[in-house]
């Protein structure tokens, strides 16, 4: 199965000049979801994972499935103001301005082995901020994995201290 056939390109969304990678055709096909999940699990190999942390919101789709298959807990990393308990917050740079991510302060225990997952690695700023949160809680990042990576944006550079894997490269 060629997973790229299930990724739809939307030009100039959400703003001019962005080629948005729409994963909803993939999500709409259970065979493609199963294939994608197995491929993501193959990236992890036999490594022991205690927690799968995933980034709001498109990281949650495969993040929860991965956690279940890896017998790991799932940890949501969310935009500010969404998580109800005590949080840590990490700001990060956008093209214009700042955004931030939050994690519950009890979501990861010191020394736990964490897989970070999101749908798309672009400039890497979002994933870097998520890694910083995980590390502030004492988590050990085993791998960062993505459905797809936009190589021309060099996101792996921001994550150079970690193992970064993706299923598709553009
Ligand atoms: P970045 O911080 O630049 O690596 O952006 C990554 C975040 O933005 C991920 O959570 C993606 O879901 C989203 N994103 C960035 N670029 C795209 C794109 N071209 N298509 C779909 N999602 C994207």
Cα–Cα distance for residue pair 45/28, rounded to 1 Å: 26
Q: Does a cis peptide bond (omega within 30 degrees of 0) precede residue 14?
A: yes
151 is catalytic: no
**CA quadruple 147, 63, 98, 151: dihedral, nearest 10:** -10
Distance from chain centroid for Cα 123? 13
Are the beta carbons of 70 and 114 closer than 8 angstroms?
Answer: no
Could you read off the pLDDT of 101-131 as tens digits, one per residue? 999 999 999 999 999 999 999 999 999 999 9
Domains of the chain with CATH codes: 45-169 (3.40.50.2020)
Query: What is the average pLDDT score of the chain?
Result: 97
Note if the pTM is more than 0.85.
yes
Q: Both tokens of residue 116?
A: 């970070």
Q: Is the CB of 64 under 6 A from ligand 1?
A: no
> Which of these is catalytic: 56, 58, 102, 112?
58
Q: How far apart are the CA of 128 and the centre of ligand 1, in A?
A: 12
């Amino acid at each position: 199965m060629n997973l790229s056939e299930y990724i739809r390109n939307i030009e100039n969304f959400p703003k001019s000049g962005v080629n948005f990678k729409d994963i909803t055709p993939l999500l709409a096909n259970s065979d493609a979801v199963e294939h994608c999940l197995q491929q993501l699990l193959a990236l992890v190999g036999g490594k022991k994972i205690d927690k799968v942390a995933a980034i709001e919101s498109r990281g949650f789709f495969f993040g929860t499935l991965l956690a279940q298959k890896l017998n790991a807990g799932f940890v949501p990393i969310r935009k500010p103001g969404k998580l109800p308990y005590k949080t840590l917050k990490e700001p990060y740079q956008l093209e214009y301005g700042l955004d931030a991510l939050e994690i519950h302060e009890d979501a990861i225990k010191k020394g736990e082995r964490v897989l970070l997952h999101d749908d798309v690695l672009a400039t890497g700023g979002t994933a870097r901020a998520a890694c910083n949160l995980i590390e502030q809680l004492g988590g050990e990042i085993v791998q960062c994995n993505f459905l797809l990576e936009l190589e021309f944006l060099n996101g792996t550079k921001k994550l150079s201290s970690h193992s970064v894997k993706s299923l598709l490269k553009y």
